[in-house]
């Protein structure tokens, strides 16, 4: 089910940007301080146990044991806070930044960026944690992980601007089938690309996976990943 625009607010002419919530900065920081504080209290007992038990101390523990006991907890807390901020920065970079304008959509995630004109979009929907944009023939235009963004907020932003949002999760689910190497009905060229894609996934080479997805689309096949398996769908022919 799709929805038409629900508002004529002139402010909707301005793009809306959705990104990893800034409030998580303090959560990561607080968790880092708590973890560092716990480690600071544990270093003394663990160090004494290690001195009495092990033939030699691990390098980091040996260095920590040289710090005066009164400074262990404050120093570990500060290091924990810094570590929490670093983890927040990593999470923010790996999270999707979504810009929805009246005439286009921009998606940016972990060094990957894509611009999709409004005129090309035939449907927008969630596929579990993914945000998917397709054309009017249901051919994929963009697929990005959006698990860190608010689903209701994302839906509202698209609907307010008149994008063809499909309310049902994963409306194309029944059209995908599990890929099995060598299975009949699939060209050998497609099998070859899917084998290469499987290796790229195992090696965590996201750019290679993206390039292979584009080659598969040119051959009329859409692919997605579910529970450590590749699923394929034969695409509608272009007009």
Secondary structure in 3-state letters for the chain: CCCCCCCCCHHHHCCEEECCCCCHHHHHHHHHHHHHHHHHHHHHHHHHHHHHHCCCCCHHHHHHCCCCHHHHHHHHHHHHHHHHHHHHHHHHHHCCEEEECCCEEEEEECCEEEEEEHHHCCEEEEECCEEEEECCCCCEEEEEECCCCCHHHHHHHHHHCCCCECCCCCCCHHHCEECCCCCCCCCHHHHHHHHHHHHHHHCCCHHHHHHHHHHHHHCCEEEEEECCEEEEEECCCCC
56-114 pLDDT, tens digit each: 655 665 565 555 555 566 766 767 667 766 776 666 677 889 999 999 999 998 888 99
pLDDT band at residue 3 under the 50/70/90 scheme: very low
> In terms of domains, do 10 and 105 share one?
yes
> In terms of domains, do 205 and 234 share one?
yes
Q: In CATH, what number is assigned to the domain containing residue 116?
A: 2.30.29
Q: What is the pLDDT of residue 66?
A: 59
Domain boundary among the residues 64, 94, 124 is at: 94
Q: Which pTM was predicted?
A: 0.68
- Exposed e or buried b for every residue in 195-214, given b needs 16+ CB within 10 A? eebbebbeeeeeeebeebbe
CA distances from 214 to 2, 114, 145, 209, 220 (A): 27, 13, 17, 9, 10
Quick one: tokens of 207?
Answer: 């750019």
Q: What is the spatial distance between Cα 136 and Cα 119, in angstroms, rounded to a whole number?
A: 10
> In terms of domains, do 235 and 119 share one?
no
Question: Are the beta carbons of 15 and 101 closer than 8 angstroms?
Answer: yes
Domain boundary among the residues 94, 119, 140 is at: 94
Give the total number of structural domains in the chain.
3
CA distances from 190 to 56, 57, 143, 198, 217 (A): 55, 54, 20, 12, 10
> In terms of domains, do 128 and 182 share one?
no
For 188, the domain range is: 176-239
> In terms of domains, do 12 and 107 share one?
yes
Read off φ and ψ for residue 37, nearest 5 degrees: -60, -45
Domain boundary among the residues 170, 196, 212 is at: 170
> In terms of domains, do 2 and 117 share one?
yes
184-222 pLDDT, tens digit each: 988 999 999 999 999 999 998 888 998 999 999 989 999
> In terms of domains, do 213 and 197 share one?
yes
> In terms of domains, do 1 and 32 share one?
no
Compute the average pLDDT of residues 130-139.
91
> In terms of domains, do 36 and 76 share one?
yes
> In terms of domains, do 72 and 46 share one?
yes
> In terms of domains, do 105 and 69 share one?
no
Helix axes 188-202, 206-218, angle to 10 degrees: 160
State the chain's maximal CA–CA distance in angstroms. Answer: 77
19-60 pLDDT, tens digit each: 876 655 556 566 766 776 666 656 656 555 655 565 665 566
> In terms of domains, do 37 and 90 share one?
yes
């Amino acid at each position: 089910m799709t929805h038409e625009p629900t508002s004529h607010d002139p402010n909707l002419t301005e793009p809306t940007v959705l990104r990893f919530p800034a409030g998580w900065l303090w959560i990561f920081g607080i968790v880092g301080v708590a973890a560092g504080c716990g480690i600071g209290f544990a270093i003394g007992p663990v160090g004494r146990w290690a001195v009495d038990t092990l033939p030699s101390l691990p390098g980091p523990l040996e260095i920590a044991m040289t710090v005066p006991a009164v400074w262990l907890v404050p120093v570990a807390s500060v290091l924990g806070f810094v570590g929490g901020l670093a983890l927040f920065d990593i999470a923010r970079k790996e999270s999707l930044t979504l810009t929805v304008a009246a005439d286009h959509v921009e998606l940016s995630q972990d060094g990957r960026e894509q611009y999709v004109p409004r005129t090309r979009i035939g449907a927008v929907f969630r596929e579990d944690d993914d945000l998917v944009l397709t054309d009017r023939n249901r051919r994929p235009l963009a697929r990005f992980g959006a698990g860190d963004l608010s689903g209701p907020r994302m839906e509202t932003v698209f609907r307010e601007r008149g994008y063809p949002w499909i309310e049902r999760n994963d409306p194309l689910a029944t059209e995908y089938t599990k890929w099995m190497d060598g299975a009949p009905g699939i060209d050998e060229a497609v099998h070859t690309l899917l084998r290469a894609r499987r290796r790229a996934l195992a090696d965590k080479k996201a750019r290679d996976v993206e390039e292979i997805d584009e080659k598969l689309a040119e051959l009329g096949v859409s692919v997605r990943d579910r529970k450590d398996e590749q699923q394929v769908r034969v695409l509608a022919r272009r007009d």
